[in-house]
């Protein structure tokens, strides 16, 4: 069997017009992030992790930020498309582990829904997706509350020709 690991990272500054979305979940009362799509750093990091594990170009190559069709795009929808590209290469996700790096807001109440959304997009069970948060303890731009970052790791398995 062939297994491959990929990692992804993304960051966006606060300042977007829309709500804060992480893993496809709107976080009530939180400042939105600035970006061409919905600026969902968690979905973007997972997207790059699965694409990288499959040896494919990054999220920016697949969904360029200068392409008007992706303006305001739902990033979990883009993640689902990326999972399709991975499947075309005969890989499937085994698990995803992700961390959101943010000084604020508190995110723990939203982790289960984030896990469910990511799992559905990449074809996993929520038990095979981990989402957690870490505070940068005031260090750097994210620690100063200028934005949010996310990091993800994905394990893929080569599928057989029959799709297993």
If you search the block for the tokens 């494919």, which residue do you land on?
A: 56
Look at domain 3-158 and name its CATH class: alpha beta
Residue 2 DSSP one-character state: -
Other CB atoms within 10 A of residue 66 CB: 8
Question: How many angstroms separate the most distant Cα atoms in the chain?
Answer: 50
Q: pLDDT of 99-143, one tens digit each?
A: 999 999 999 999 999 999 999 999 999 999 999 999 999 999 999
Of the candidates 110, 126, 137, 46, the residue with the CA atom closest to the CA atom of residue 83: 46
Residues 143 and 137 sit within 8 Å (Cβ to Cβ): yes
What span, in angstroms and rounded, lies between the C-alpha atoms of 35 and 161? 38
pTM: 0.95
pLDDT higher than threshold 60 for residue 164: no
CB atoms within 10 A of CB 115: 22
Nearest to 131 by CA among 58, 45, 51: 45
pLDDT recorded at residue 161: 58
pLDDT (tens digit, 9 = 90+) per residue, 139-157? Answer: 999 999 999 999 999 999 9
Enumerate the domain spans of the chain. Answer: 3-158
- 91: pLDDT strictly greater than 60: yes
pLDDT single digits (tens) 30-72: 999 999 999 999 999 999 999 999 999 999 999 999 999 999 9
Q: Which helix (H) or strand (E) holds 80?
A: helix 75-88
The vertex-152 CA angle with 147 and 156, nearest 5°, equals 155
Res 1: pLDDT: 65
Structure tokens at 100: 């959101």
The closest alpha carbon to 39, from 147, 152, 154, belongs to 147
pLDDT attached to residue 16: 83
Per-residue pLDDT, averaged over 90-107, amounts to: 97
């Amino acid at each position: 069997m062939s297994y491959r690991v990929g990692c992804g990272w993304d960051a966006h500054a606060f300042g977007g017009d829309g709500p804060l979305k992480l893993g496809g979940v709107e976080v009530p009362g939180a400042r939105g992030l600035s970006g061409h799509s919905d600026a969902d750093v968690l979905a973007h990091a997972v997207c790059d992790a699965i694409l990288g594990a499959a040896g494919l170009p990054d999220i920016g190559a697949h969904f360029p930020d200068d392409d008007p069709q992706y303006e305001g795009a739902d990033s979990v929808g883009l993640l689902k498309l990326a999972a399709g590209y991975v499947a075309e290469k005969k890989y499937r996700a085994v698990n995803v582990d992700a961390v959101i790096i943010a000084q604020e807001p508190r995110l723990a109440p939203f982790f289960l829904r984030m896990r469910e959304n990511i799992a559905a997009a990449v074809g996993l069970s929520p038990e095979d997706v981990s989402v957690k948060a870490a505070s940068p303890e005031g260090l750097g731009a994210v620690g100063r509350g200028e934005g949010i970052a996310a990091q993800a790791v994905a394990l893929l398995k080569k599928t057989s020709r029959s799709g297993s």
